[in-house]
Structure 1
């Protein structure tokens, strides 16, 4: 019986052997992955990574923390600064939420339990990809965007509400030390907006970097992260191609066809599910191209793929969390549950928000 520690080593050796057997196919897959990174992911994510670094340096996180604390703690058991991660994560897509969560943990603004709750429901697709690429590009129907958005983002918020019960005995983190922000010069209680501005100012002073230094650091950090993201996309593109050449993808598709049949869904969507397990873009595209399966079923699979996020995104998030004590398992379970909830919401909301409504 193989020990768990030996499995990665044997897997790596098998991949090297497959690379030697199928070098041309691996090269083509590598170029495809590189093209996706350079033409889609780099221009979409790099500006958000730089901006998020700048906002952290300017103390915007502390501003959001003071403003949103009365709402985030009761709903999600997360400090108010989590509202900043929710906003940026939903606006800019994966893996920005994980990146910001890891940074908040490094700055000791959240603890492990709060970080695991936060990253579980802020790893979502960005609206531009959901509307422009999936609805219009893959399905050729902008009318599909409302039901996809409602199921995907609504499912994410439901995951956030469910994750408040995660690690229930863990203590809440203390508010960030922002000095004497509770009272003004006359001893009267400051308004929450004044406290937020004061907290932002204190955070900026404590950071201490000039604008030029801050911008340079932000660009360097964003480039390092983009290289990691690109490398993982290329690696998973190659792995998928090697599995396809060995017939492993078809075996997995057969299992998925059986599961879809039990669920009353068209077996033809199995290719979309299998592709989406590994990479979200390939899975969403395959769902849009699965003609004859019924638009509602296709949309449900697309919602599942968008919410599951693909193992490529999982690897990106795992690499970001590796520098912290945040565990990957809660994130994995949350992604799987989010995918199931999002697919179910498509069926529930179809009569109100679907293209035929």
Structure 2
């Protein structure tokens, strides 16, 4: 799609489709005023009772860490790992550190700035956004593990599978794009020897320079941290209330029943609890509502509820996707690689949570024990044969695509005959 076609599609969305959707939602809110009011109150209660006390103090602390240059210190330490592991210039280390510390959509904002300054290539930027768009530790630990699940022990398991699967996505995304485009777009960033070696001294210097550039006193830094954190909390609360009302109105109009029944059928095929369908559907739209719903079913084992929460946190919700897509639209970065990376991250995080539940959480009287391997194999053998065939086809296609990529890399590395004779 050319830039002109992309601009025309954006005009169609902003001038026709989005106003039409907004009009339909307003009419549905007028038809179901009681449902919309109750959903708004419920979303506001989630924000005030759980999100605000759990997130606001950590938002202030994270802002102080940025002001003191601690994140710059960590980013500089990560610089030597970016190119060999993820095929991204060393400047991506700072983006990775900032994104893992601050959460979505910080990665898209920082990557767009690097792309505008021509410090990173187009495909490099798309790879960087794909695996560094994650939940922040504050929301994962404070809101989800402690606030929604009431289980601080779950925080370590969720963090390990969420960020561990994000790194695996980065390793997978390194095969995205061609080597020639990476070499041409890296520019001068790949030639700096300081970014190719691990150095505590350079990391301390980066932290010191960041502190000098910031230049604010402790009082000014604290005041700005509180102000910006309050503004961010208002945005988070507004999104939670908005999507809570939208989902409740659509549910009252029986629009969401089709999605619930479809997801319940898919979960039944996979021998997973159908009670988690509401969590998956809600998490498709907004991550907070989905994470809250994943902790709600009382008769579902904690292992499956944690896997659903890991899936929802890694997917991010359409609200995050909309923010990232609008940010990427300011540069020439494409949204489609980000979308597929979110899908891979979500399924990978959920699978890792189920596989590593017993080593991570151990045996506890309050948790239902993990099934034995022979029981899991028996469950897998009960899956309909059509689904088995579908999985086999997907695996074969993935293997063929990987072989095609290897052959393409081998052919591109062969010497080509030049048209001009040597002088």
Q: Deviations over 1:325-349 (max 9, x none)?
A: 3222222211111110011101211
Distance in 1 (CA, whole Å) between partners of 2:274 and 2:290 is 15
Aligned counterpart, 1:333: 340
> Mean alpha-carbon deviation: is it higher for 259-268 or for 136-145?
136-145
Matches within 5 A, 1:287-326: 287-326=294-333
Matches within 5 A, 1:173-212: 173-175=187-189, 192=199, 211=216
Distance in 2 (CA, whole Å) between partners of 1:278 and 1:240 is 9
Following superposition, the deviation at residue 84 of structure 1 comes to 2.3
Distance 1:45 1:79, change over 3 A: farther
Aligned counterpart, 1:95: 105
Q: Deviations over 1:230-281 (max 9, x none)?
A: 5544432332122122112222110000111111112121111112112222
Aligned counterpart, 1:348: 355
Matched, 1:261 2:274: no
> What's the TM-score, normalizing by structure 2?
0.67
SS for the counterpart of 2:189 is coil
Following superposition, the deviation at residue 157 of structure 1 comes to 0.8
Q: Deviations over 1:89-148 (max 9, x none)?
A: 223333333333334334443333222222222222233332333333333333333332
Matches within 5 A, 1:1-357: 6-33=16-43, 40=51, 43=56, 47=60, 50-51=63-64, 54=67, 61=72, 67-168=77-178, 169-170=181-182, 171-175=185-189, 192=199, 211=216, 231-356=238-363
> Mean alpha-carbon deviation: is it higher for 343-352 or for 81-90?
81-90
Q: Deviations over 1:172-231 (max 9, x none)?
A: 2432999xx97xxxxxxx9955666677788889x7x8648x969999887877666555
Following superposition, the deviation at residue 355 of structure 1 comes to 3.9
> What's the TM-score, normalizing by structure 1?
0.78
Distance 1:352 1:243, change over 3 A: same
Question: Greater RCO between the two (CA within 8 Å, min separation 6)?
Answer: 1
SS for the counterpart of 1:175 is helix
In our comparison, the structure showing a higher alpha carbon Rg is 2
Following superposition, the deviation at residue 30 of structure 1 comes to 4.0
SS for the counterpart of 2:177 is coil
8 Å CA contact 1:64–1:80 kept in 2: the answer is: no
Distance in 1 (CA, whole Å) between partners of 2:163 and 2:70 is 27
Distance in 2 (CA, whole Å) between partners of 1:9 and 1:312 is 17
Distance in 1 (CA, whole Å) between partners of 2:47 and 2:332 is 28
8 Å CA contact 1:304–1:342 kept in 2: the answer is: yes
Distance 1:34 1:330, change over 3 A: farther
Q: Deviations over 1:37-81 (max 9, x none)?
A: 5672672675377558747xx7975x6666433211111112223
Distance in 1 (CA, whole Å) between partners of 2:154 and 2:207 is 40
Distance in 1 (CA, whole Å) between partners of 2:137 and 2:243 is 24
Distance 1:294 1:233, change over 3 A: closer
| Runs (4+) off by over 6 Å | 197-205, 214-227
Distance in 1 (CA, whole Å) between partners of 2:203 and 2:34 is 57
8 Å CA contact 1:301–1:343 kept in 2: the answer is: yes
Distance in 1 (CA, whole Å) between partners of 2:161 and 2:314 is 9
Following superposition, the deviation at residue 10 of structure 1 comes to 3.1
